[in-house]
């Protein structure tokens, strides 16, 4: 065998060895009941055409590789943005393992969350005992300042009442009566992770604000970033801009430190996050701004109920989107946008002009969360690019209308199509029948890249197969510069691969571009 103590191979080269090739071939022949290779090849080619595309896009009862996750994942991520908060998921242990692994694999950091470990008996008799024992264990073992409770499918199907269960747990002494245990119902069989995020943030604000008297502090602003796989870089960039302006603000749900803990000899189960005192004081803010509208619809409605001014954005990425965000902050806070930020804007405009010959006319397929897809499409049009396919599995009819209005306002959007509710198997048909230059999304797009030959740029959660992207910002002018550089690198890398055959394709000796 090729594997030995003296010769340790990674799984990729290991399975290329003759012994493993033979083993896999025999497995396929003897246990998979394969169709003849010619039939498989013919069917594969058929799925690349227009006839199959029409059948594919007409699917209603089946979803294949959706570009979204379930609600509790968003709730777990939301809880991670608050001071010493342990996420408690009322459901089965396996579900929580999925949320933790998803976040850990993306951020390359431990993601702490616990479960009430519901099994068959809890599904029949209810999960109250699991809740009481689980809260007691969480409080005593992990020393949190707050426990944020969400639900999975099982708890929602049987109708467990979180408010009642938490009150029962407190009366049983599982946690002290005054201990903060906000909650959100997050059924995994409807909505997506952005809805779970929204429900949990609203649940936490409501827990601390309900019944309290509000005294408005003029010029103060709450910022809610939304579910963002780039929160480490983006939150810090947003705070840098706000600090440069001298704004009085509170970042609600700040997970930037939690998912970027230093290696300095001290283990941190919790790090950073919006403090409980900050959450309480945030009731008095003049306004609450959301950086992602579709992540915070319920939360902003609640902020309006407590008489705060509200505004939302679609991921302030690029020139116009960042302009709008900063001008709104300036309007509310009364602070001027300083010369330092104005110069950053001018440098991004200059960089776009420097590279316009390479970016102009490039075509894109973009998928991901609704706010990100909107922001990304808007940005590529600023560079002279042309969005062709914009897909959000968790996109709504309202999002689709906003996207169409965005494209109608620009010559570069004239050929763009919007696909709300579609999945990545539908994207495959779109890429084969109407090819584009670049694909933008998350790591799951690598299979589309291999299948269709469309170069993938990873800019959406989750990114499993690359490291440290999330540590750098996408939002703001600095984020726009990094994003544009990422796109250009992909264009130039592909050009290099296509012009590397000596004396055949390298005729222009294109060292300078």
Residues tagged active-site = 153, 157
- Provide CB contacts within 8 A for 312, sequence distance 6+: 289, 290, 291, 292, 293, 296, 300
User: Residue 27: enclosing H or E segment and its boundaries?
Assistant: helix 18-31
Closest CA to 186 of 201, 207, 174, 175: 201
Q: Give Cα separations from 106 to 230, 369, 384, 461 (angstroms).
A: 10, 16, 31, 7
Cα–Cα distances (Å) from 480 to 254, 322, 383, in that order, read 21, 9, 10
The β-bridge partners of 492 are: none
**Alpha carbons 440 and 452: distance in angstroms, whole number:** 14
Least Cα distance to 107 among 480, 436, 471 occurs for: 471
d(CA 39, CA 30): 18
CA 125 from centre of chain? 36
Render 256-320 in DSSP notation, one character per residue.
TTTTS---SS---SS---B-HHHHHHGGGEEEEEESBGGG-HHHHHHHHHTT-EEEE-B--BSHH
Ranges of beta strands (E only) in 353-499 are: 363-367, 386-392, 417-420, 438-441, 456-458
CA distances from 275 to 65, 82, 269 (A): 37, 6, 15
Of 271, 277, 294, nearest to 224 by C-alpha is 294
Q: How far is CA 456 from CA 276, 357, 488, in A?
A: 40, 21, 12
């Amino acid at each position: 065998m090729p594997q030995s103590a003296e010769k340790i191979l990674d799984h990729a080269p290991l399975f290329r060895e003759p012994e493993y090739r033979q083993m896999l071939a025999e497995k396929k022949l003897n246990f998979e009941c394969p169709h003849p290779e010619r039939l498989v090849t013919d069917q594969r080619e058929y799925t690349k055409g227009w006839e199959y595309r029409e059948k594919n896009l007409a699917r209603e009862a089946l979803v294949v590789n959706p570009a979204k996750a379930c609600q509790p994942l968003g709730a777990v991520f939301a809880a991670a943005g608050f001071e010493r908060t342990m996420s408690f998921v009322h459901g089965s242990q396996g579900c929580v393992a999925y949320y933790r692994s998803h976040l850990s694999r993306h951020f390359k950091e431990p993601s702490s969350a616990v479960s009430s470990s519901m099994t068959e008996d809890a599904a029949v008799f209810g999960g109250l005992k699991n809740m009481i024992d689980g809260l007691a264990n969480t409080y005593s073992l992990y020393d949190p300042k707050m426990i944020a409770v969400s639900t999975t499918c099982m708890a929602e199907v049987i109708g467990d009442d979180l408010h009642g269960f938490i009150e029962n747990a407190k009366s049983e002494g599982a946690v002290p009566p005054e201990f903060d245990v906000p909650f959100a119902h997050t059924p995994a069989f409807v909505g997506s992770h952005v809805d779970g995020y929204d429900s949990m943030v609203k649940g936490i604000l409501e827990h601390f604000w309900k019944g309290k008297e509000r005294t408005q502090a003029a010029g103060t602003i709450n910022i809610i970033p939304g579910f963002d796989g780039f929160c480490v870089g983006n939150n810090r960039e947003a705070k840098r801009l706000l600090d440069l302006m001298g704004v009085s603000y509170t970042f609600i749900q700040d997970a930037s430190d939690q998912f970027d803990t230093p290696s300095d000899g001290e283990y941190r189960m919790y790090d950073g996050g919006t403090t409980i005192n900050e959450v309480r004081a945030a009731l008095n803010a003049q306004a609450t701004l959301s950086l992602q509208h579709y992540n915070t619809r319920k939360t902003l409605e609640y902020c309006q109920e407590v008489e705060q001014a509200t505004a939302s954005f679609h991921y302030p990425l690029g020139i116009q989107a960042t302009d709008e965000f900063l001008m709104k902050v300036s309007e509310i806070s009364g602070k001027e946008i300083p010369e330092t930020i104005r110069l950053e804007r001018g440098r991004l405009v200059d960089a776009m002009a420097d590279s316009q010959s390479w970016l102009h006319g490039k075509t894109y397929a973009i998928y991901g969360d609704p706010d990100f897809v909107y922001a990304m499409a808007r940005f590529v049009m600023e560079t002279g690019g042309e969005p062709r396919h914009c897909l959000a599995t968790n996109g709504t009819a309202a999002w689709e209308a906003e996207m169409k209005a965005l494209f109608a306002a620009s010559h570069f959007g004239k050929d763009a199509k919007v696909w709300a509710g579609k999945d990545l198997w539908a994207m495959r048909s779109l890429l084969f029948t109407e090819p584009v230059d670049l694909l933008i999304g998350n790591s799951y797009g690598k299979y589309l890249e291999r299948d269709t030959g469309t170069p993938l740029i990873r800019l959406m959660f989750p990114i499993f197969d690359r490291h440290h992207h999330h540590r750098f910002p996408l939002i703001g002018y600095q984020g726009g510069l990094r994003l544009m550089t990422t796109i250009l690198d992909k264009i130039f890398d592909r050009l290099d691969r296509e012009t590397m055959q000596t004396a055949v394709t390298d005729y222009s000796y294109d060292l300078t571009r």
